[in-house]
């Protein structure tokens, strides 16, 4: 993988205790970055911190749908450091069901975590980036937010909202040295697949011309470039990494 220099930078990665988020955290740490991983799973956070054993790694137990908690933690971090990078990766797929049968509470939870969680983190962290006139924000959406997945209307709608949020925020910050972009991956071999039925997973795979799932390291490579100071022009953009499923 291309070498990036994140020395003297600080990153916040949500959903950082596993999957995409953890791999991104590891690569950032290798590149000299101070990393704060946020996740709702305290046990997993402690395990990861022990295994990685890097003084630049910090963690917080956070539910991204809780704005008050996020704001409190952000204030604590920014009392010591500036936040240069935000990766909004936390998300859940929820159950699969036709819209007219979808449980209302589960629908709301999916939207709260996937869409409102992204809003909450941006809302709390962007002012610090503005004051420092530097920032890189990467929001993790999904190809489902572009195409829509049958029987996953809540997830598809939340990820479509994340795409719209990114375009708006990117334009709002375009006159500053702050880039805001969104990535739309196809299915990958992470634990999020465990939340889906076998039929739904196979349906997803059948739509990918590459004929396989996304590899985590492939995703991390894209995130690293978007998060780096090499990305000086792209903002408010959608970066597809779906193996040919979406070509727009």
Strand residues in the chain grouped as ranges (E): 10-14, 34-39, 57-61, 85-88, 135-140, 178-185, 237-241
Beta-carbon contacts of residue 40 (< 8 Å; ≥ 6 apart): 61, 62, 63, 64, 90
CA angle in degrees (0–180, nearest 5) for 82-83-89: 170
Q: 210: closest CA among 242, 168, 235?
A: 242
Q: 238: closest CA among 151, 177, 169?
A: 169
Q: Which residues are catalytic?
A: 155
Q: Distance between CA 182 and CA 163 in Å, rounded?
A: 6
| Number of C-beta neighbours around residue 212 at 10 A | 12
| Cα distance from N-terminal residue to C-terminal residue, the chain | 26
Q: Distance between CA 161 and CA 204 in Å, rounded?
A: 20
124 in helix, strand or coil?
helix
DSSP string covering 155-173: HHHHHHHHHHHHHHHHHHT
1 in helix, strand or coil?
coil
């Amino acid at each position: 993988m291309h070498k990036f220099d994140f020395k003297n930078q600080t990153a916040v990665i949500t959903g950082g205790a596993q999957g995409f988020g953890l791999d991104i955290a590891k690569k950032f740490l290798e590149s000299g970055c101070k990393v704060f991983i946020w996740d709702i799973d305290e046990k997993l956070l402690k395990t990861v911190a022990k295994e990685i054993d890097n003084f630049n790694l910090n963690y917080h137990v956070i539910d991204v749908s809780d704005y008050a908690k996020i704001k409190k933690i952000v204030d604590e971090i920014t009392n010591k450091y500036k936040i240069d990078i935000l990766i909004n990766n936390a998300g859940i797929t929820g159950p699969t069901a036709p819209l007219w049968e979808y449980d209302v509470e589960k629908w709301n939870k999916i939207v709260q975590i996937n869409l409102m969680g992204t809003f909450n983190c941006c809302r709390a962290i962007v002012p610090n980036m503005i004051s420092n006139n530097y920032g890189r924000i990467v929001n993790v959406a999904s190809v489902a937010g572009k195409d829509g997945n049958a029987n996953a209307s809540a997830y598809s709608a939340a990820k479509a909202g994340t795409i719209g949020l990114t375009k708006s925020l990117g334009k709002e910050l375009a006159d500053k040295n702050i880039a805001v972009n969104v990535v739309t991956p196809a299915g990958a071999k992470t634990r999020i697949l465990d939340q889906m039925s076998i039929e739904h997973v196979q349906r997803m795979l059948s739509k990918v011309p590459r004929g396989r799932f996304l590899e985590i390291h492939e995703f991390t490579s894209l995130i690293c470039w978007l998060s780096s100071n090499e990305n000086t022009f792209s903002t408010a953009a959608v970066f597809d990494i779906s193996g040919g499923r979406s070509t727009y």
